[in-house]
């Protein structure tokens, strides 16, 4: 369901997909007629998954609208800030497989969310913050500014199998 929501929100948007993993969110944004998509993935092994997903969908989608970077997404955020690059829709998929030396989800999520909102999102932009990290608790400071979509974004049959949380922030 979260992929369908991203597809719906992507029309005519500049999309940034951070921690892209297999590129599924990018593919859904593209199928939702996003203007352009920037997919950023840290893990080099996942780059082939992203490219494979795009190639599998090339008949239906304009994959030339997707730029794929193997980069530390946190460093990419800093680079985008420095170059005043803005996005209408940012997908931050902080899954549990992100190495701890990249950032500490529990301690750093507040600063990351604020940095994305203040420096990367256009006025009226949207940030989807997604995590499957066991025991993650959104910081109380930002929780009132976020819509919790968790119950709407995971089918009931998957709920006991893995943790999943989705928060959306509006600029």
- Condensed to tens digits (0 to 9), the pLDDT of residues 87-126 reads 999 999 987 666 666 778 888 888 889 999 999 999 999 9
Residue 17 pLDDT exceeds 90? yes
Write b or e for each residue in 3-40: b if 16 or more Cβ atoms lie within 10 A of its Cβ, otherwise e.
eebbbebbeebbbbbbbbbebbbbbbbbbbebebbbbb
Give me the residues paired with residue 92 across strands: 18, 129
pLDDT tens digits, one per residue of 72-89: 999 999 999 999 999 999
Q: What is the mean pLDDT of the chain?
A: 85
Residue 149 pLDDT exceeds 70? yes
- Tell me what pLDDT residue 105 has: 82
The more confident residue out of 44 and 92 is 92
Residue 140 pLDDT exceeds 70? yes
């Amino acid at each position: 369901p979260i992929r369908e929501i991203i597809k719906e929100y992507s029309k005519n948007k500049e999309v940034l997909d951070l921690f892209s993993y297999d590129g599924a969110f990018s593919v859904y944004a593209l199928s939702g007629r996003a203007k352009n998509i920037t997919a950023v993935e840290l893990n080099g092994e996942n780059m082939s998954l992203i490219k494979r997903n795009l190639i599998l969908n090339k008949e239906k989608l304009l994959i030339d609208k997707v730029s794929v970077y193997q980069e530390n997404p946190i460093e990419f955020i800093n680079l985008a800030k420095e170059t005043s690059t803005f996005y209408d829709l940012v997908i931050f998929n902080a899954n549990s497989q992100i190495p701890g030396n990249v950032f500490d989800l529990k301690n750093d999520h507040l600063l990351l969310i604020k940095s994305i909102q203040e420096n990367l999102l256009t006025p009226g932009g949207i940030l989807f913050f997604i995590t499957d990290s066991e025991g993650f608790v959104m910081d109380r400071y930002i929780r009132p500014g976020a819509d919790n979509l968790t119950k709407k974004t995971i089918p009931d049959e998957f709920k006991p199998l893995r943790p999943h949380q989705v928060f959306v922030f509006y600029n």
